[in-house]
A = this chain, B = another copy of it.
Amino acid sequence: MASGEETFQAYLRRQGLKTTRQRTAIAREFLSSHRHITAEGLHRSVSRKNPAIGLVTVYRTLKLLAQAGVAKERRFGANESCYEPAAAGGHHDHMICKICGKIFEFENVKIEGLQDRVAAEHGFLIQDHKLELYGVCRGCRKVKPGARRRK
């Protein structure tokens, strides 16, 4: 069971790329910051301990992490890309609350099974998938904002 960091290092070696101080720092920070983070956000985290690292390097390293299979790029409704560590323990999907913006994760094996079946019916080979449910989360449902103003 290779840790994300090991997988990344192995990928670099395999590709004849170099293991640099900044790549290691970025990868480590990324892997320890569970759940979706933006390039900008990751750069902020990394900068705390390592102010000399540039945003550009974070972008480049995130791309490498994705290629290594350690990071997954996600793009929710927003304008900027999020990355998240590729969960060692299986794939998960997201529910995004349109009110508070919170993102909830879930896993459902049956849905994945059906996806496989649909793909098979079309002769399509699935490599990856994204399922996002947009709506209102439990917390925000309680609030009932406005509830249709009466004239």
Contact = CB atoms under 8 A, between A and B. Distances in A.
Contacts of A149: none
Contact of A124 (B75, B104, B127): B104
Given A114-B114, A129-B133, A138 B119 contact: no
A115 interface: yes
Contacts of A98: 127
Interface in A123-145: 123-138, 141
Q: Chain A interface: which size bin? A: 20 to 34
A104 B122 CA distance: 9
Contacts of A132: 129-131
A20 interface: no
